Chains A and B, each alone.
Chain A
Amino acid sequence: MIPASLNACLVLSAVLFAIGFLGVLVRRNTLIIYMCLELMLVASTLALVAFSRYNGTLDGNVFVFFILTVAAAEVAVGLAIIVALFRKRQTVQVELLNQLKD
């Protein structure tokens, strides 16, 4: 049993990735930007799973397993950094966090 075709999965993955990218571009809240980054990551794993299925191997699935693990660690560290930043600057709006730019 298999849905649609490989192309449909890839198109869906690309669209999800684009939506995540759009969010990173238009939003100004660090937490939302971070959620959109997660969305992009999940979109790419969808492509990996689809490729794995249509090749009849499990290696892609194992790779996605590792990606999920690393993503969990990354989220924990990233959110800790955001909290540390908030403690120091009292804001999570990116337009107010431009000290390195100036």
Chain B
Amino acid sequence: MDNLLFNLFAVFTVACALGVVFNRNTVAAALCLLLCLVGVAGLFALLDATLLAFVLVFVYAGAVVALFLFIIMLLDAQGGTRRPFGRMAIAAGVLAAGLLATGVILLAGATGPAAPLPASPDNTLAAPAQLLFTQYLLPLQVVGFLLLIAMLGVIVLSKRFEGLEDIK
């Protein structure tokens, strides 16, 4: 049953990811990204990371994709023409495809005895919170400060200052 769900979510996620890449319409690509993130959230839930599944839907599917859509509407930017690939792009593509194929073959071909699966960590809200506010308290504060700095930076970037046009 779990395997079936995993395969279902995996196929759904990959299909939506392909939709992001190959959609000519930018808005449709953003909506494909939304569906892809929902698929990944489902996979997180299957991997017993319930909190992260919720956070992914809230932060990514909610805020980030909405921001993308807002900017797409603001700029009215459509898909654009696809140029023939340069030599560098072809080399990079071949290299990346080779690496991916190697990795997939190695991973799929690994047949050693599976390690016994450890018991699921306590995945209620309390356990990650316990970690966040004890062991990872300093990173938590730093990340909060980073969010503040990012907010100020965005305000500076998007506000027009009188007489300071040359800073952009």
Binding site for B on A (CB under 8 A): 1-5, 7-12, 14-16, 18-23, 25-29, 31-32, 34-36, 38-39, 42, 45-46, 49-50, 52-59, 61-62, 64-66, 68-77, 79-84, 86, 88, 92-93, 95
Contact = CB atoms under 8 A, between A and B. Distances in A.
Contact of B49 (A32, A49, A77): A49
A25 B89 contact: yes
A28 B81 contact: yes
Contact of B132 (A20, A62, A84): A62
A16 B14 contact: yes
B75 A31 contact: yes
Interface residues of B, number: 83
Nearest to B147: A73
B85 A26 contact: yes
Contact of A2 (B36, B47, B96, B154): B47
Nearest to B146: A73
A93 B80 contact: yes
7 closest Cβ contacts across the A-B interface? A56-B118, A3-B6, A73-B150, A23-B21, A80-B157, A80-B154, A19-B17
B14 A84 contact: no
B154 A32 contact: no
A95 B118 CA distance: 50
Contacts of A14: 100, 103-104, 107
Contact of B47 (A3, A42, A77, A79): A3
Nearest to A72: B59
Contact of A15 (B14, B52, B74): B14
A12 B14 contact: yes
B82 A28 contact: yes
Contacts of B107: 7, 10-11, 14
Contact of B119 (A23, A56, A84, A93): A56
B114 to A, nearest CB: 6
Contacts of A39: 17, 20, 33, 36
B68 A42 contact: no
Contact of B43 (A46, A81, A83): A46
B143 A18 contact: no
